[in-house]
Amino acid sequence: MRIAVVGAGALGLYYGAMLQRSGVDVCFLLRRDYQAINTSGLQVRSVNGDFYLAQVKACRAPAEIGAVDLVIVGLKTFSNDQMIELVRPLVGSETAILTLQNGLGNEELLAEAFGPERVLGGIAFLCSNRGEPGVVHHLGEGRIRLGEFRAGLTPRSDKLALLFKEAGVPCEAVADVRRARWEKLVWNIPFNGLSALLGQDVTDILTCSHTRKLVRELMLDVIAGANAQGLSKEIDGTKFSEQMITFTDGMDHYRPSMQIDREEGRPLELEAIFAIPLQRAAAAGTTMPRVDMLYRLLASGEKI
């Protein structure tokens, strides 16, 4: 299988490196890291053991890569205006497209451009940051849940899950990728949002009783919005929110990506993580008032 990684930041570099290390033919579409990786390879510093790829296929333009069997999209969603044109040269007659992006709406954009039959969605539970050019830091987790945009388990989704598992990435094929996306939002909305707004990491937020309570309330808002979507199975608010908070208690001063983006002057992924979920909750006849307030506070700090 030949794979192209579009959006080779912390997520794309890590998963692409894991796949290449297992013997898969991977080509990375690179910007910032192109010179460093093309010259000196890719270094992964991981809690599971560091490794180094001396030779990496790196390209600056998708036309240099050409058609592949699988496109993995790891772009930040604020770059979605460029996504279709970046992916188009990579798509052949049998190409599948797997988006591992945050939030909602990504599969729909790809399905409209390339057909729903090509598109899969993946939810990545990954703690990773970029280091200096050519280096990615894997701080914890890494599991993926993926499924067909059209829903239902298929041989293709099972095959892709196995591909990741054979590369050392825990991966599960799921029948309802919409439910999995909303489950990820239960974590993403409070922790990415509050970390960016307050400039505090997840440990700081959970150590303070006031913000810990707010995290739970935000999670319950998101779960109410999720359960209005007609999912295959409702999310248990009390149980799932407690699981997410307990899980995050184990992250030692982890800085979510949105906090890093704000600190480094980049845009925030507000559309996919906040605006579209709010719109879909409203369309289903429910509200997420705390989420809406957090979204407005975050948006007020963005450059327009």
For residues 75 and 5, the answer to whether their CB atoms sit within 8 Å is no
Q: Which residues share a beta bridge with 126?
A: 141
Report the DSSP beta bridge partners of residue 172: 145
**Which residues are registered as beta bridge partners of 53?**
42
Residue in 115, 84, 122 with CA at minimum distance from that of residue 101: 122
Residue with tokens 């799932």: 240
Among 159, 184, 233, 303, the one annotated catalytic: 184
DSSP 32: T
Report d(CA 29, CA 153) in Å as an integer: 30
The reply to whether 184 belongs to the active site is yes
- At residue 35, the 3 state secondary structure works out as helix
Structure-token pair, residue 32: 């910032």
Catalytic residues: 184
